Structure formats: structure tokens, C-alpha cells
Amino acid sequence: MEWLRNPIDQTNPLKPVWTFDQIPDLSGKVIIVTGGNAEIGKESVQALLAHNATVYVASRSEEHAQSAIAELKEATGKEPIFLRLDLGNLSHIRKAAEEFLSKEKQLRVLMNNAGVMYPPTDQVTDGNFYMPFGTNVIAPEAANLNGQYLKPWARLGKAVPSTQDPEVAAKLRAWLEAAVAGK
Ligand SMILES: NC(=O)c1ccc[n+]([C@@H]2O[C@H](COP(=O)([O-])OP(=O)(O)OC[C@H]3O[C@@H](n4cnc5c(N)ncnc54)[C@H](OP(=O)(O)O)[C@@H]3O)[C@@H](O)[C@H]2O)c1
């Protein structure tokens, strides 16, 4: 019966306990949303712009991105910035990182939203990985190849001290475990 329950649950989602209105003021904060041109990514960009963040829409298609940027500008009165990024090609990731670094000094948040779900099994990235694995797993973790691409965007300059504090890390872990356990 799981096949029947799922669509029913999906059409009756739980009431959210946290909403966009609770996002604090993000003035001066630079954020990249990968796949910010569509659906969840675009909604995220809109919410971030509405709270004054500087947002980069990182997309493989300039046409898709510019069309989303026009809509987002219309909706919020603020204009996100296009960043060309194809997660299917690791050298494009490096180029995108360089492009970003030529414009900004600090990245506060990298939203690894872009991804693909279930394409035919013969679809592969330029690196010859199955498309979802190459796009969703390898590309965001390209930093593990090591340390040159996506993640250093977030680490440019000194890390915020709280990110390196073992006490904060232990509290976060405890919070996560409690949340998973439903406490
Ligand atoms: N919606 C769901 O129910 C659901 C469930 C589980 C997980 N997710 C994940 O949540 C994320 C957002 O979902 P969504 O429904 O908003 O997805 P979506 O409508 O399919 O949008 C995916 C975005 O990722 C971009 N993208 C795909 N491959 C890329 C690549 N190689 N380089 C750069 N950008 C690439 C797409 O760009 P183009 O416009 O150029 O295609 C698009 O902007 C995805 O990672 C998805 O897998 C979604």
C-alpha cells in the first residue's frame, strides 16, 4: 500500500514549522544557489533575495538562468547574478570558481541544489560517471580531489571561528541526533 500512501501524503503535506518569513536579514551575505534557475533552486533564490542577500544563480544554461533572473527581478525588485556552472564537467567547476573569485571576496553559503534524478543509465557526465552520481555526488564533492573547487568558495578568507569550534560541533551533532530521534 506504500505506493498509494505516498501520493496521498504528498498532496497533504504537514504544516511547516519554519517558514521563509523567519529568514533573518542577509544584507552583505553572498550566497550561491546551484540550479537556481528552476523550481526549488529558484524558490530559494527568491526567498534569499527577499531577505537582501546577494545571490548568484549558478547554472549550466545562460538562457535558462537569464529567464529566471528576469522573473526573480520582477518578483523581488532585486537582481541575482548569473554564474556559469556545469556540474557535469569538473573543469567547468574550476572555471566557475575562478569567475566567482574574481568578483567576490567571501562566500557565506553554497546551496548545492542542482541535481538530476533518474535519467537513462547511458547518460553520463564528461568525466564518464553515471549522470546523477557525477552531478549530485562527485561535482559538489570535487573539493575532495582535493580542495581546489567548490568548497574553497565557502572557505575563502578565514573560516568563521564557530565552524572550527569542537564544542559547537558537539552541540550540533547532539541536536542532529535528537532531531533524528524525534526528541
Ligand atoms: N523535487 C523533488 O521532489 C525532489 C526530490 C528529491 C530530491 N530532489 C533534488 O532537489 C534538487 C532540486 O529539485 P528540483 O525539483 O527543483 O529539480 P529540477 O527542477 O530538476 O531542477 C534541477 C536544477 O539542477 C540543474 N542542473 C542539473 N544538472 C546540472 C548540471 N550538470 N550543472 C548545473 N546545473 C544542473 C538544472 O539545470 P537546467 O535547468 O539546465 O536543467 C536545474 O536548475 C535536485 O537536486 C533534485 O534532484 C528533488
Q: Is 56 helix (H, G, I), strand (E, B) or coil?
A: strand
CB atoms within 10 A of CB 93: 24
CB atoms within 10 A of CB 146: 9
Q: Which amino acid is at 41?
A: G
Decide which of 15 and 5 is more confident: 15
Lowest mean pLDDT among 68-72, 79-83, 118-122, 169-173: 169-173
DSSP string of 76-88, one letter each residue:
HS---EEEE--TT
- Give dist(CA 65, CA 142) in Å, integer: 23
Q: If you average pLDDT over every residue of the chain, what do you get?
A: 82
Is residue 62 lining ligand 1, measured as CB closer than 6 Å? no
pLDDT value, residue 8: 82
Is residue 44 lining ligand 1, measured as CB closer than 6 Å? no
Residues 137-180 have pLDDT tens digits of: 766 655 433 344 444 444 555 666 666 778 877 886 677 666 55
Residues 19-41 have pLDDT tens digits of: 999 999 999 999 999 999 999 99
Average pLDDT over residues 79-92: 87
Cα angle vertex 90, ends 88, 58, to 5°?
A: 65
Q: Does the pLDDT at position 45 exceed 90?
A: yes
Is residue 125 lining ligand 1, measured as CB closer than 6 Å? no
Domains of the chain: 2-180 (3.40.50.720)
Alpha carbon of 133 to ligand 1 centroid (Å):
13
